[in-house]
Chain A
Amino acid sequence: MKAFARLLERLAFTAGRNAKLTILAHYFAATPDPDRGWALAALTGGLDLRQVSPSLLRRLAGERMDAQLFALSYDFVGDLAETISLIWPEATTSGPEVTLSDAVALLRDTGKLALPAAIAQVLDRMTPPERLAFLKLATGNMRVGLSARLARVALAQGSAAQDSARSVEEIEEIWHGLTPPYTALFDWLAGGARPEAAAAAPFRPVMLSTPITPSELAALDPADYIAEWKWDGIRVQAVSEGGMRRLYSRTGEDIGAAFPDLLDALNFEGAVDGELLIRRDGDVAPFADLQKRLGRKLVSKAMLQSHPASLRLYDILTWQGEDLRALPLQDRRARLQAADFDSDRIDLSPLLPFTTWQDLTTLRAAPPAQVIEGVMIKRRTAPYVAGRPRGPWFKWKRDPMVIDAVLLYAQSGHGKRSGFYSDFTFGVWDGPDLVPVGKAYFGFTDEELKELDRFVRKNTTQRYGPVRQLAPLLVVEVAFEGLNLSTRHKAGLAMRFPRISRIRWDKPAAEADHLDTLRTML
């Protein structure tokens, strides 16, 4: 448990992506099976353990220590698991280290009645960091800010270091057939045999596009390409094979549980690539509506009624047992058009009629629906390949929305920007007040970063830990891709991909935009 505790602690305090990858790769390289596999499962949400309730933990703590001292401590620390890990009486029993595998077995196999005593016994044998790791595991609350995707990237990097390089796409392809503690996976990553894709309806690594500018486009022959709308939903892969139906995000997360209505509609045998949308009477609803259905474990009947999920197809990967990915796009498109999906929730993303890039420019300027965020341009002859190759697929996004906002708070960055105030919270006017509406970390040049940093240091009015409150003086133009309703933000709105597109040293704060302006953009 010591190594796992160290891993969690480092991940919890490390913000940089590369640093996280290094920490993970070292952990996987240095930790034996099956512990590293259990750790991988714990970090990627793949562990199904008995959840220990906070009240049980409180009761255990109460048996070991004075209630008043415990209350004072909890009040100071602010986190139950952390308080107990720190305050638990020093180990009295010595013995071999409790391994992560031991901890997993305990939380998986112990009956409800025996659980409290078993937990107390294992806490007695641990150091405070181990206790914290164990209690986080037991309460199902790892919170280390790590995506499953990042863990797989770390595995890919680790395999490269062992001369048996496997790409992250290769890992994703077999991921859903694997189960913790993933010994077959680690064996394969070290040069062993590839695990049989045991899962029915597996995920196929997704093909992604790169951005393109009008001038770059001009150099291409329009006859070599097809174009279609870029729908503002969630890119998904729907797989229905051998009686198993799954809906994957583009990073291979299984998101089917939140969309039972769509799973019901997958009446075919194959794997298709498309956009998940909320559609009412043929009209596609804004992204905010889709957002309401995301991340839910249980979807209410009312929600299924009011926010029906649908699928708009771009591509076809397998059909009735046949893998179509090596075919040129135009052939796949023909197969897609010929396929019968037998559901009114599934339709095809239409191809755009154009012969010159000017035609496409005109189309892009006036999309027929709000929920279109640009056009996709795809080479007719390209096979479907995993990853983000530059060339076969381009995205040409609509121009971003912009507002003028006032910088309100700043926080220093990390990595290359260490010591520079580079993370900004900005706001707009709401009556006489400025309300925060978003955060931006990029969009400015290194030179501008230095100027912003100087501005922050000169205009700090208050400090809260690493955060500085700023005199509301500097206006920045913020570009963003869309707006969603949000209950988490004070202003009730959340921007998508906000970035600082221009610093308006010239503009007085009083002339920044108002919240009403933002609301009209919804």
Chain B
Amino acid sequence: MRAEDILYPTEMGLYCAPGDFYIDPLRPVPRALVTHGHADHARPGNAAVMATRQTLEIMAIRYGEDFTASRQIAEGTTRLGGVTVSFHPAGHVLGSAQILITPDNGPRILVSGDYCRAPNPVCLPFEPVACDIFITEATFGLPVFRHPDPIAEAARLLASMAEFPDRPHLVGAYALGKAQRVIALARAAGHHAPIAIHGALKRLCDYHVEQGIDLGPLVSATDPGDAQLILAPPSAFASPWVQRFRDPVIAYASGWMTVRARARQRGVELPLVISDHVDWPQLTATITELAPQEVWITHGTEDGLLRWCEIQGIAARPLRLVGYEDEPE
């Protein structure tokens, strides 16, 4: 069987014909395999969902226990129709996985979902999996994206807090993954005081703690006490919620903060380059390491990666999947 007949893009998302399932479907389908819990990949309303235990639990937290009629925890290998699937850590957020599709005869296809190769204290590291077709995101698919050491970025945040001890520091970070990572990084960089979190982050922070990830003392941002570091979803900065803080330093943790125009557009005073996606060196190194016969690119700035593959003599094609955000909130 040819790769194009095993897995191909449809309006609903990537569809595996011999297995009769969709990966990260955009609309409700009979059977969905979900790479991770970000809202643009994991949506409610599918009849059956297969994902890692943590992704299923995160979906239940976000959408309610009835987000699907049938849950299946991905463990080991599973036979689905005419293919075998297995889930492997993606290093992106808690529970995130790559999905390997192995047909009885034909190329092995690895759908990496969103992934990251930098050490991340809040989830399992990316596992390189041998494959013939590597399906990758290209969120940061240009050589300008070289994420600095995240601990150094956390140190910049702490340095600003020391420079402006009277100003609360409000860090914009999306609720799943980024918020917990920023907290863990601040801890690793030496900030042990309570950190205040916006209500929208609470349930997912609690879940990380239940999963054994130490986030240190957290308090509510409605009653932050002496907490100088406050985390909130970026959308909160455009709402009157932010008016309760006097002369805050607005920070934002995202891979996009590498580019000044992007940071300016957000009205950020302290851009922090902290990303849960592979940067350019990691992206290209991963392709080199896996040495697939072909690279398919789901979404992002694919032109840069296509050009790189061309230079390297690697066959590549864009799938131009729509509906996936660059770095969702």
| Partner pick for A418 among B242, B270, B304, B311, CB 8 A cutoff | B242
Q: For the complex, give the distance between the alpha carbons of A73 and B281 in Å.
A: 15
Stretch among B19-27, B88-96, B139-147 lining the A interface: B139-147
B228 to chain A, nearest CB (A): 15
Q: For the complex, give the distance between the alpha carbons of A26 and B307 in Å.
A: 45
User: In the bound complex, do residue B245 and residue A418 qualify as a contact, i.e. CB atoms below 8 Å apart?
Assistant: yes
Contacts of A82 in B (CB 8 A): 259-260
User: In the bound complex, do residue B269 and residue A415 qualify as a contact, i.e. CB atoms below 8 Å apart?
Assistant: no
Find residues 236-251 in chain B having any chain A CB closer than 8 Å to their own CB: 237-238, 240-243, 245-248, 250
Given the interface contacts A15-B269, A77-B261, does A83 sit within 8 Å of B243 by beta carbon? Answer: no
Given the interface contacts A416-B247, A418-B245, does A66 sit within 8 Å of B144 by beta carbon? Answer: no
B318 to chain A, nearest CB (A): 14
User: In the bound complex, do residue B240 and residue A86 qualify as a contact, i.e. CB atoms below 8 Å apart?
Assistant: no
Interface residue count on the A side (C-beta < 8 Å): 38
User: In the bound complex, do residue A419 and residue B307 qualify as a contact, i.e. CB atoms below 8 Å apart?
Assistant: no
Q: For the complex, give the distance between the alpha carbons of A420 and B250 in Å.
A: 13
Contacts of B304 in A (CB 8 A): 69, 72-73
Of chain B, the residue at the smallest CB distance from A76 is: B142
Residue B265 at the chain A interface, CB threshold 8 Å: yes
User: In the bound complex, do residue A73 and residue B144 qualify as a contact, i.e. CB atoms below 8 Å apart?
Assistant: yes
User: In the bound complex, do residue B259 and residue A76 qualify as a contact, i.e. CB atoms below 8 Å apart?
Assistant: yes
Stretch among A16-24, A93-101, A203-211, A305-313 lining the B interface: A16-24
| Partner pick for A66 among B238, B266, B271, B311, CB 8 A cutoff | B311
Residue A412 at the chain B interface, CB threshold 8 Å: yes
User: In the bound complex, do residue B260 and residue A79 qualify as a contact, i.e. CB atoms below 8 Å apart?
Assistant: yes
Residue A68 at the chain B interface, CB threshold 8 Å: yes
Residue B267 at the chain A interface, CB threshold 8 Å: yes
User: In the bound complex, do residue A419 and residue B164 qualify as a contact, i.e. CB atoms below 8 Å apart?
Assistant: no
User: In the bound complex, do residue A78 and residue B261 qualify as a contact, i.e. CB atoms below 8 Å apart?
Assistant: yes
Residue B301 at the chain A interface, CB threshold 8 Å: yes
Residue A12 at the chain B interface, CB threshold 8 Å: yes
Q: For the complex, give the distance between the alpha carbons of A65 and B280 in Å.
A: 14
User: In the bound complex, do residue B142 and residue A73 qualify as a contact, i.e. CB atoms below 8 Å apart?
Assistant: yes
Contacts of A14 in B (CB 8 A): 269
User: In the bound complex, do residue B307 and residue A69 qualify as a contact, i.e. CB atoms below 8 Å apart?
Assistant: yes
Contacts of A90 in B (CB 8 A): 146, 281
User: In the bound complex, do residue A87 and residue B143 qualify as a contact, i.e. CB atoms below 8 Å apart?
Assistant: yes
| Partner pick for A465 among B146, B167, B267, CB 8 A cutoff | B267
Find residues 1-31 in chain A having any chain B CB closer than 8 Å to their own CB: 10, 12-16, 19, 22-23, 26
Given the interface contacts A128-B146, A453-B240, A466-B266, does A26 sit within 8 Å of B248 by beta carbon? Answer: no
User: In the bound complex, do residue B142 and residue A414 qualify as a contact, i.e. CB atoms below 8 Å apart?
Assistant: no
Contacts of A16 in B (CB 8 A): 247
B269 to chain A, nearest CB (A): 5
User: In the bound complex, do residue B308 and residue A69 qualify as a contact, i.e. CB atoms below 8 Å apart?
Assistant: yes
Residue B286 at the chain A interface, CB threshold 8 Å: no
| Partner pick for B301 among A13, A66, A76, CB 8 A cutoff | A76
Find residues 429-452 in chain A having any chain B CB closer than 8 Å to their own CB: none
User: In the bound complex, do residue B258 and residue A466 qualify as a contact, i.e. CB atoms below 8 Å apart?
Assistant: no
Contacts of A297 in B (CB 8 A): none
Q: For the complex, give the distance between the alpha carbons of A194 and B142 in Å.
A: 53
Find residues 286-327 in chain B having any chain A CB closer than 8 Å to their own CB: 301, 303-304, 307-308, 311
User: In the bound complex, do residue A86 and residue B258 qualify as a contact, i.e. CB atoms below 8 Å apart?
Assistant: yes
Of chain A, the residue at the smallest CB distance from B281 is: A90
Q: For the complex, give the distance between the alpha carbons of A82 and B260 in Å.
A: 8
Of chain A, the residue at the smallest CB distance from B236 is: A419
Residue B3 at the chain A interface, CB threshold 8 Å: no
Residue B268 at the chain A interface, CB threshold 8 Å: yes
Contacts of A412 in B (CB 8 A): 238, 267
Q: For the complex, give the distance between the alpha carbons of A10 and B242 in Å.
A: 22
Residue B17 at the chain A interface, CB threshold 8 Å: no
Residue A457 at the chain B interface, CB threshold 8 Å: yes
B214 to chain A, nearest CB (A): 30
Contacts of A69 in B (CB 8 A): 142-143, 304, 307-308
Residue B163 at the chain A interface, CB threshold 8 Å: yes
B236 to chain A, nearest CB (A): 10
Find residues 108-166 in chain B having any chain A CB closer than 8 Å to their own CB: 142-146, 148, 160, 163-164
User: In the bound complex, do residue A79 and residue B261 qualify as a contact, i.e. CB atoms below 8 Å apart?
Assistant: yes
Given the interface contacts A453-B240, A466-B266, does A65 sit within 8 Å of B143 by beta carbon? Answer: yes
User: In the bound complex, do residue B271 and residue A418 qualify as a contact, i.e. CB atoms below 8 Å apart?
Assistant: no
Find residues 153-183 in chain B having any chain A CB closer than 8 Å to their own CB: 160, 163-164, 167
Of chain B, the residue at the smallest CB distance from A418 is: B248
Q: For the complex, give the distance between the alpha carbons of A65 and B144 in Å.
A: 12
B103 to chain A, nearest CB (A): 35
Contacts of A65 in B (CB 8 A): 143
User: In the bound complex, do residue B243 and residue A419 qualify as a contact, i.e. CB atoms below 8 Å apart?
Assistant: yes
A31 to chain B, nearest CB (A): 14
Residue B12 at the chain A interface, CB threshold 8 Å: no
| Partner pick for B303 among A15, A72, A465, CB 8 A cutoff | A72
User: In the bound complex, do residue B259 and residue A77 qualify as a contact, i.e. CB atoms below 8 Å apart?
Assistant: yes
Contacts of B270 in A (CB 8 A): 10, 13
Contacts of A457 in B (CB 8 A): 240
Q: For the complex, give the distance between the alpha carbons of A14 and B238 in Å.
A: 18
Of chain B, the residue at the smallest CB distance from A82 is: B260
What 4 pairs across the A-B complex have the smallest Cβ distances?
A419-B242, A466-B267, A465-B265, A86-B144
Q: List 9 A-B contacts (CB under 8 A).
A: A10-B270, A13-B264, A72-B301, A77-B144, A411-B267, A418-B243, A419-B237, A419-B243, A465-B267
